[in-house]
Amino acid sequence: MCGLTYAGVSWDAHRCIREGRAGIERRQRQRLQEIVAYARAHSTYYGRIYRNVPELLSGIGELPVVTKAELMSHFDDWVTDPAVTKARIEVFLADSGNVGRDFLDRYVVCTTSGATGIPAILLHDHTALVVYNVLGYVRSLSVFWHSRGLAWALVRGRGRLAAVFVTGGHFLGNTMMARRIRKIPSRRRMQRIFSALEPLAELVSDLNAFAPVVLGGYPSALETLAHEQRAGRLHIHPVLINAAGETLAPAKRQLIGTAFDCRVGNYYGSSEAVGLTYECTAQRLHINSDWYIVEPVDAGNRPVPAGHLSDGVLITNLANRIQPIIRYHMGDRVTMDADPCICGSPFPSIDVVGRTDDILTFPTPQGHEVQILPLAIATVAEETPGVAGCQLIQRTPLSLTVRLRVKDGGDQEMVWAELRNRLAAFLSAHGATTIAIEKTDEAPAPHPLSGKFRQVYSELTPRHQ
């Protein structure tokens, strides 16, 4: 693992495909043995929970399942570099000037949302970054280069890339974009993240001025922009759109693709598992299973057979050694395809039911409507000091109900007052100035119909726009 180069990993990625399933499985087995041995030797936490695990694994099922809550509560024992401590990282993260800087000059640090009430701090070493970048360029982007005229369109548009994500913090997309620009400042003219937090009219104006040829973002943001494009307020002409961060339903993909008259790609991954999948020409999500292991499981963490929807999924990252992710439980529900994909890829393909929060629609005093992106308003809530978890529910056109969980030792009334003020300011900035923000005594809970935790959702009957 040490000293991996872009050339070496790229060559291996190509060779892996040629060798087919046998070559993939051989690499996976070898890399699993290596990451487990490394974690056992260098992570106090894994050394403890692997005490009774055999040195030579017969299968991944011999390893215990870990959760975000467990790992975060043992953070200093989890990491494999003694110079990394949670206290030191929290000081680093508190300085917004550090966005895009490497911690200790050798680790990328990012934070995740608290969608399930448990935010995480995640590190990636430089060797892992080599793997992630190769998987992106060799597998993900190579699919789109087959699109007729795409290369020339990118050159003609000078490669301007825009992404609509949450900014202002150490979130993965924001961190990686800032990191690239720090390395080559001239990229700022060609690559930009636009904040999903800004009012829609401002976002539309900024995108019109930038005129991207590649556009990425949350499906909810892309759906909203598609309606703006159809209404004539947004008039950009991307040749490629990439969706990530939420579930991309087929109807949304069609809406977005039709509005912008271009190809719409999809991606499933997370801050823990960068480069987990790529989408093929048949619009199937394939797992990069030479570097990741994905296990669909039921509520008891037992394997779910191919063709059946799981209750959760266990992710193993075979590339990152500073903070080993091995049989890490994620709440997404997946179905592993039972049959090979028609594209001919040797990598397994999956369907994913991930984050499916709703776009909220509120009236303005002027008689218009404003749309609020779920990840944007959720971030406002999560970033409020003292909030351990929350759920935002629209039950009437002019109200927002908040289910709140405060961190241990926090003052419930003070946290609620600050959260209410922040939500009111955010909604007002978007033009929704008359919304009643109410707190209920109910704790954040799974959706009563789906049984899945949804952080932001509407109980109103959806309307076609």
Q: pLDDT tens digits, residue range 201-254?
A: 999 999 999 999 999 998 889 999 999 999 999 999 998 899 988 888 888 899
CATH number at residue 299: 3.40.50.12780
The C-alpha atoms of residue 111 and residue 271 are separated, in whole angstroms, by 8
74 pLDDT exceeds 90?
A: yes
Task: Tell me which DSSP letter residue 164 carries.
Answer: E
Determine, yes or no, domain membership for 377.
Answer: yes
Tokens of 450: 């789906």
Residue 367, in any domain of the structure: yes
Same domain (yes/no): 171, 224: yes
Residue 106: the pLDDT is: 95
- State pLDDT tens for residues 4-37: 888 999 999 989 999 999 999 999 999 999 999 9
Calculated CA dihedral for residues 100, 105, 110, 111, nearest 10 degrees: -120
| Same-domain pairing of 365 and 336 | no
* Tens-digit pLDDT profile for residues 242-299: 998 888 888 889 999 999 999 899 989 889 999 999 999 899 999 999 999 999 999 8
Domain contains 464: no
| Per-residue model confidence (pLDDT) at position 382 | 84
320 and 407 assigned to the same domain: no
Share of the chain above pLDDT 90, in %: 63
Looking at the structure, tell me whether residues 74 and 164 fall in a common domain: yes
Helix (H) or strand (E) holding 291: none
Burial of 2 (0-12, 13-18, 19+ CB in 10 A): exposed
Residue 284 sits in the same domain as residue 405: no
Tell which residue, 459, 457, 441, 436, has the closest CA to residue 115. 457
For residue 148, name the pLDDT band (cuts at 50, 70, 90): low
More confident residue, 151 or 129: 129
Q: Which residue has the higher pLDDT, 462 or 212?
A: 212
* pLDDT over 70 percentage in the chain: 91
The residue among 356, 376, 407 that closes a domain is: 356
430 and 337 in a common domain: no
pLDDT tens-digit map of 99-110: 999 999 999 999
pLDDT number for residue 11 = 92
Q: The whole model's pTM is what?
A: 0.82
The conformation of residue 383, written as its DSSP 8-state character, comes to T
Q: What's CA 423's distance to the chain center, in Å?
A: 23
Mean pLDDT of the chain: 89
463 domain-assigned? no
Of the chain, the end-to-end C-alpha distance in Å amounts to 51
pLDDT at 368 over 50: yes
Residues 380, 270, single domain; the answer is no
pLDDT-based confidence at 130, cuts 50/70/90?
A: very high
Name the domain boundary from 340, 356, 372.
Answer: 356
CATH no. for residue 453?
Answer: 3.30.300.30
- Provide the domain limits for residue 47: 1-356
Nearest alpha-carbon partner for 406 in 419, 422, 395, 394: 419
Q: For tokens 């401002």, what's the residue?
A: 202
Domain count, the chain: 2
348 and 451 both lie in a single domain? no
Point out the least confidently predicted range of 49-63, 114-128, 172-186, 196-210: 114-128
In the block, tokens 């290369």 appear at: 151
Residue 427 falls inside a structural domain? yes
Question: What's the mean pLDDT in 301-327?
Answer: 96
Q: List, for residues 342-366, the tens digit of each pLDDT value.
A: 999 999 999 998 666 788 999 999 9
Q: Is residue 465 part of a domain?
A: no
Residue 100 backbone class (left: φ over 0; alpha: ψ -120 to 50; beta: rest): left
CA dihedral 93, 99, 103, 108 (to 10 degrees): 110
Contacts of 212 (CB under 8 A, 6+ apart): 157, 160, 161, 162, 192, 236, 238
pLDDT of residue 409: 86
The pLDDT of residue 464 = 42
Question: Could you tell me if 2 and 24 lie in one domain?
Answer: yes
Asked whether residue 366 falls in the same domain as residue 350, the answer is no
Mean pLDDT score, 178-203: 89
Q: Are residues 286 and 163 in the same domain?
A: yes
Asked whether 247 and 355 are in contact (CB, 8 A), the reply is yes
- CA pair distance 404, 238, nearest whole angstrom: 40
Q: Are 93 and 73 in contact (CB under 8 A)?
A: no
Q: 54-58, 147-151, 410-414, 426-430: lowest mean pLDDT where? A: 147-151
Q: Would residue 222 count as lying in a domain?
A: yes
Give the tokens for residue 227: 């309606």
350 and 428 in a single domain? The answer is no
Q: Is 20 a member of any domain?
A: yes
End residue of a domain, out of 324, 356, 388: 356
pLDDT at 450: 53
pLDDT of residue 136: 86
Give the residue carrying structure tokens 């215990």.
64
